[in-house]
Amino acid sequence: MNTERQSPSLYSVAILSRGDAAALRDATPQNSRFVQVFEALAGLGIEARPAIYDESFAEEIREQLLAVDGVLVWVNPIQDGRSRAGLDALLREVAARDVWVSAHPDVILKMGTKEVLYHTRSMGWGSETALYQTAEAMRAELPARLATGPRVIKRNRGNGGQGVWKVERLPTSPMIRVLDATKDTPEELTLDAFLRRCAEYFENGSVIDQPFQPRLSEGVVRCYMAGDRCAGFGHHKVKALVDAPAARSEAGPRLYSSNADPRFQRLRRLMEDEWTPQLTSLLNIARGDLPIIWDADFMLGPVQADGRDSYVLGEINVSSVHPYPGEAPAEIARRVADRLQRKV
């Protein structure tokens, strides 16, 4: 790399997403779903190029990534039956050759999997969370936790509600009731039958067990972060894991707002001033290695003694955060420029 660079106008970045050969052939900044990010980067003089990844032409993309200064990655952990295993190996290789990668696969493993809920359970956003490394441990420990109330079971890596379940005991039956987050209707089955459904989750990971939050039907607040600064919010009422028909009927699309939204200023202060510094300290992540765009989903917890709401972390999304508030691309671009200038 040229260590004489002083201006971001000399930098280039690739914006990488998954696609097929046709997407690779036709990709332009103008037809990308990240067009606003391309425009924001161009406004700061940074050349951004689309990069389309698929395992079948990984070598071609490898050469493209080695020719830029940085890579911004938007690829889900599980998509169309494929994982990120090959891509993550490629990104580690590229990063080892002095190309800045956001988010780096090692950072995703620290903060972008469900295990972050266990490792940060002592923080202000935490809850009484368990981690199962094996199906045998889950079989031994889950019944006692179900005796305290409904639980939410989550596979370590997934997106779109895949591998997320609400589980609860039935008062007059040895069966349990389970609700798949991607389905509308719960079902009753034995604990053994449920454990068999979860068996595949342990093949390459663990399972997280959290208490179900009774206020889930009041909505989920998503706090979007660009590095260690809040870039906006999203709020919506959800259907996932909500049983009551009346509450499900109120579910709607996520509504976005800026980081100045007065409803969420306390959450913004907590994220910027307390929780993100605590997160990076607990997980040993350098501030400059925080993803350029990530988000944290919060459910409402118990009302505190002073009448204010508490917040319970439901997950952190890092791999492919999109869409996001309209203010986010400008913040992303500023963070990219800052990070590339500090890189040299």
Give the helix ranges, DSSP H, for the chain.
Answer: 21-26, 35-43, 58-66, 85-96, 105-111, 115-119, 135-146, 191-198, 245-249, 265-269, 276-283, 328-343
Q: Tell me the mean pLDDT in the region 155-165.
A: 88
- Residue 10's pLDDT is what? 80
Q: Calculate Rg over the CA atoms of the chain.
A: 21
Task: Return the pLDDT at 66.
Answer: 97
- CA-to-CA dists, residue 189 to 171, 202, 287, 315, angstroms: 14, 20, 46, 27
List CB contacts of 162: < 8 A, sequence separation 6 or more.
78, 155, 181, 182
- Looking at residues 110-126, what average pLDDT do you find? 96
Residue 102's DSSP bridge partners are 72
For residue range 175-202, list pLDDT tens digits in order: 999 999 999 999 999 999 999 999 999 9
Cα 207 vs. chain centroid, distance in angstroms?
16
Predicted pLDDT of residue 3 = 42
pLDDT value for 5: 46
Give the pLDDT band (50/70/90) at residue 344: low
Q: Is a pLDDT exceeding 70 seen at residue 85?
A: yes
Residue 7 scores a pLDDT above 60: no
10-69 pLDDT per residue, tens = 899 999 999 999 988 899 999 999 999 999 999 999 999 999 999 999 999 999 999 999
Distance in angstroms between the alpha carbons of the first and the last residue of the chain = 8
Q: How far is it, in rounded angstroms, from Cα 203 to Cα 303?
A: 39
